[in-house]
Amino acid sequence: MTATAPSTPAIEFRGLRKSFGTNEVLKGIDLTVAPQHVVCVIGASGSGKSTLLRCTNRLEEPTGGSVLIDGIDITHPDCDLDLVRRNIGMVFQQFNLFPHLKVLGNVTLAQRLVLRRSEEEAQQVARDMLERVGLSEKADAFPSQLSGGQQQRVAIARALAMNPQMMLFDEATSALDPELVGDVLEVMRQLARDGMTMLVVTHEMGFARRVADRVVFMDQGVICEQGPPEQVLEHPETPRLQQFLEQVLEH
C-alpha cells in the first residue's frame, strides 16, 4: 500500500501531541492518510481517537508536533484555518445541524457565506447533495422534525456541499438508534466507493472491516497497532488490541 501511495499524503500527523491541562491525551502520533484512502480509527473511549480527529482541522489546538493537509502545515501560525477547513468536511457524533434553519438552509448557509455562491447555485448544489444522501424530499423540514439518522445524513450533505477534498467522521453513528445506523453507514460506504479521502473514528467494526483501507488501533494516546483491516481485526498482535476486540465483539 505504501508503495502505491502518491508522494504527498492527504493527511499527515507528525509527532502530534495534545494535553488538556496535565492530562496528555495524544502522546506523539505519527500517521498518514493517502489520497482516496479510508482510514478507520478504533479504540476504547478515552484513547484519544476523537481528539486526533479534532486536531485534523484544529478544532482542538495541538500542543506539539504538526498536522499536514496536502503537504501544508496547518499548525503553522500563518496558515489561514478558514481556508483549510472549507476543504475538510466534518461530521459529528451529535450531528450539530443548525436548528434554526430548515434542511435546505443548513446545506446552503456555508456555501453562500464561505464560497460566495449565489442563492440559486447553492440551492442547486444542496438539492443534489440531499439527493445523494437520499433525503431530497426533506429539504423544507426543520432538523427537529427528522430522525437521528436523517439528521446525520443532512450533516453529511452539508459537509459535501462544500466540495471537500476529504471527510472526517467523529463517531458518526454512535448517537443513533441501532436501526438507523445502516442508512448512515451506507452513505459513508458510497462516499468511500466514490474515492473520497476519509478519516473515520468509529465503533462499527463491520464498517471498518469492509470499507477501510487501513485500520488504526489507538490506546492511551498512542497508536498501538495499524494495518489492513483483515490483519488488524482478524490477527491482532498486541494483547491490548486482542482484549479490545474481544470486548467489542462479545456484544
Partner 1 sequence: MTDIATEQLGDGDVPELYRSGRAKRNRSRNFRIAAYAVGLTVIVSVGLFADWAKIADSYFDLERAKALFPDIITIAAKNTIVYTVFAFIGGVILGTSAALLRLSSIRPYRWVASIYIEIFRGLPALLTIIFVGFITPIALGIRFPKVLGVPTAGIVALALVAGAYLAETIRAGIEGVPKGQVEAARSLGMTHGQTLRKVVIPQAFRIVIPPLTNELVLLLKDTALLSVLGVTPLTKELTAFARAEGSKGFNGTPLVIAGLLYLAITIPLTRLVAVLERRNKQAR
Binding site for partner 1 (CB under 8 A): 57, 59, 82-83, 85-90, 92, 94, 96-100, 109-110, 113-114, 142, 144-145, 155, 158-159, 162
Burial class of residue 51, CB neighbours in 10 A (0-12, 13-18, 19+):
buried
**Closer residue to partner 1 in complex, CB, 23/144:** 144
Q: How far is the CB of 113 from partner 1 (least distance, A)?
A: 5
**Closer residue to partner 1 in complex, CB, 94/247:** 94
**Closer residue to partner 1 in complex, CB, 36/96:** 96
**Closer residue to partner 1 in complex, CB, 151/233:** 151
**Closer residue to partner 1 in complex, CB, 155/188:** 155
Task: Find the angle CA(111)-CA(73)-CA(214) to the nearest 5 degrees.
Answer: 85
CA distance 33 to 59: 19
**Closer residue to partner 1 in complex, CB, 145/242:** 145
Q: How far is the CB of 161 from partner 1 (least distance, A)?
A: 9
Q: How far is the CB of 196 from partner 1 (least distance, A)?
A: 16
Q: How far is the CB of 20 from partner 1 (least distance, A)?
A: 15
Q: Residue 154, Cβ neighbours under 10 Å: how many?
A: 26
Q: Residue 189, Cβ neighbours under 10 Å: how many?
A: 14
Q: How far is the CB of 158 from partner 1 (least distance, A)?
A: 7
Q: How far is the CB of 175 from partner 1 (least distance, A)?
A: 11
Taking CA atoms, 94 is separated from 36, 173, 245, in Å, by 26, 9, 25
